[in-house]
Structure formats: C-alpha cells, structure tokens
C-alpha cells in the first residue's frame, strides 16, 4: 500500500515519543500490505474497526493511541485522517474527522 500523509505521523511521534516504535512498525507493515478489501485488514489487524466511507480505526500501543485512515483499495492508497490519544479520539467523529 502507498501511505499518504506520513509527515503527520512522524510529527506525532515527536510529541509522543513512546508511540514512535509502534507507529513506525505500523507504517512498515502498511507499506508491505496489499489490502483489496476490508476483510484483508481485519485478517492482519483483528482489533481494527471498519467504518463507513472506507475508513478504518487502528488501536495503537495497547489502545493508548488511535489512528484513523481512509483506504482506497482499488489504487492501494492509505490516507491518514487522524492520530491521537484515546481521549482525543473520543472527542472526534471517526467517520468525518479530517485532521490532516
């Protein structure tokens, strides 16, 4: 997959250094992935939540952080829409948030 909006993820790791390892590992896994449908994501990340509008929520670092992306399965693009703490996630609408 092609990961769009990598700089915001890296910026997040500067503010939350404890998340750096898990964010970088997630990025590496996504770049190797070839998701064609939501079931492919669920097979790799059982705790991921599949939302409407091609959106997916990933739990990072034991659910301490949340990452929302939109996946364009047909072209292999993953667009970062939000990354934040669990508390910050609770304050947004995962189906519509456009942090980046």
Q: What is the mean pLDDT of residues 63-69?
A: 96
- The yes-or-no verdict on residue 73 having pLDDT over 90 is yes
Tens-place pLDDT, residues 55-65: 999 999 988 99
Average of per-residue pLDDT values in the chain: 96
Q: According to the model, what pLDDT value does residue 78 have?
A: 98
Tens-place pLDDT, residues 22-56: 999 999 999 999 999 999 999 999 999 999 999 99
Report the C-alpha dihedral over residues 13, 14, 17, 23, rounded to 10 degrees. Answer: 10
Q: What is the mean pLDDT of residues 6-18?
A: 95
**What distance in Å separates the CA atoms of residue 74 and residue 14, rounded to the nearest whole number?**
32
Per DSSP bridges, beta strands 2-4 and 49-50 are unpaired
Domain boundaries, the chain: 2-90
In the three-class reduction of DSSP (H, G, I as helix; E, B as strand; rest coil), residue 27 is classed as helix
Question: What's the fold here for domain 2-90?
Answer: YaeB-like fold (3.30.2310)
Report the predicted TM-score, pTM, of the whole model to 2 decimal places.
Answer: 0.95
């Amino acid at each position: 997959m092609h990961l769009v909006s990598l700089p915001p993820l890296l910026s997040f790791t500067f503010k939350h250094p404890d998340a750096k390892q898990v964010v970088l590992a997630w990025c590496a896994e996504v770049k190797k992935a070839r998701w064609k449908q939501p079931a492919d994501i669920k097979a790799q990340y059982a705790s991921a939540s599949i939302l409407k509008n091609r959106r997916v929520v990933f739990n990072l670092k034991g659910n301490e952080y949340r990452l929302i992306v939109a996946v364009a399965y047909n072209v292999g693009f993953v667009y970062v829409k939000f990354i934040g703490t669990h508390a910050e996630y609770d304050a947004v609408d995962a189906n519509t948030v456009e942090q980046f």
